[in-house]
Structure formats: structure tokens, C-alpha cells
Amino acid sequence: MQDGNLEKIIVATGLGRLRQRPAFSEKILPEIMNELSLITGQKPVVCKAHKSIASFKLREGDIVGAKVTLRGKRMKDFLDRFINVVLPRVRDFRGISPKNIDAQGNLTVGIKEHTVFPEINQDEVKVDFGLEITLVSNIKNLDKSYEFYKKLGIPLKEKKDK
């Protein structure tokens, strides 16, 4: 495990259906960006669509999401808060499935409500959105990355042998 370490954490949110609401760019988008920056301690980057897709009412250049890439000290602080404060607050949480680790050794966790973070005041929330948190490690093996995340203290469920 000495050669394995965490490279970065990516916190992202998709704005999908929220885009179609009236006053999206005046009220909803700034609110999401503000709350994402409260959660991560860093200003989010806006993600735009590369292609137009008529069935999704999406035009090239439309805002489709926001993300923050954390490295170094902020990454470690966020991981500590995520493991010790946020995950215990998630409703019906029984551990993260080992299937959330992909072939490259990255762990992705989806959270349905951003209000589980202690930085967010639930009384002042105007827009409810979910988050996707991806932990990127330099270990490219599935079994080794599972052991690495267990050693980090991430509550993974036990693997079921085939």
C-alpha cells in the first residue's frame, strides 16, 4: 500500500431538469454554485454541453453541470468530513457497494441530497440537488484499490466472492 495514494477528489452535480425551470440563470444556478463552494471550499467550474441534442432540449454551449476538483490539503479535509460526518447522515446508509469501484480503481459515490453536508443550512435551501463524488487513486487494480479504500476508512460493504 505504500505506492498507492489518492490523487484527487471530484465533486460534480448535473443540472439536467433544473435548466428548464424559469429563472434558472438568475436564481437557481448562482444558488447551486454557492452551495457547492460552501461544501468544497473552492469555486466550482461550469460544465457546458459539447453537442446539441434535440430530444433533451439541449443546445451546444448550454450549462449542464458544475464540478470541483480537490487536491492536497482541501482534498484530505473533504475526505475526512465525507467519511466521518456526511456518510453517517445519509438516510438508510449501510455501506458503499464495492461495485462502485471501476476498472481503473476510481470510487464513485452518488448522494441524492446535498443537505447531508453540515455546511448547508436546511432552512435556507431553495434548490435541492444531488452530488457525485469520485475518488481517483493511482492504483489501477480492482482488488488492490478495494483494499486501499478500506484502509482509508471508507465504509465499503464486504465483497461477495463469485
Taking the domains of the chain in order of start, what are their residue ranges? 6-152
Q: Please give the pLDDT value at position 9.
A: 93
- For residue 1, give the nearest of 102, 150, 148 by alpha carbon: 148
Tens place of pLDDT per residue across the chain (162 aa): 456 688 999 999 988 777 767 767 677 888 888 889 988 889 999 888 888 888 777 788 877 889 999 998 999 999 998 888 888 878 777 888 888 888 888 999 998 888 888 888 887 888 888 899 999 988 888 888 888 888 888 888 887 765
Closest of 108, 95, 107 to residue 145, by C-alpha: 107
CATH class of segment(s) 6-152: alpha beta
**Alpha carbons 130 and 68: distance in angstroms, whole number:** 14
Contact between 143 and 128 under an 8 Å Cβ cutoff? The reply is no
Residues near 161 by Cβ (< 8 Å), separated by ≥ 6? none
**Burial of 149: CB neighbours in 10 Å, binned 0-12, 13-18, 19+:** buried
Closest CA to 156 of 131, 132, 135, 141: 135
Cα distance between residue 89 and residue 30, in whole Å: 26
Q: What's the CA gap between 43 and 66, in Å, rounded?
A: 10
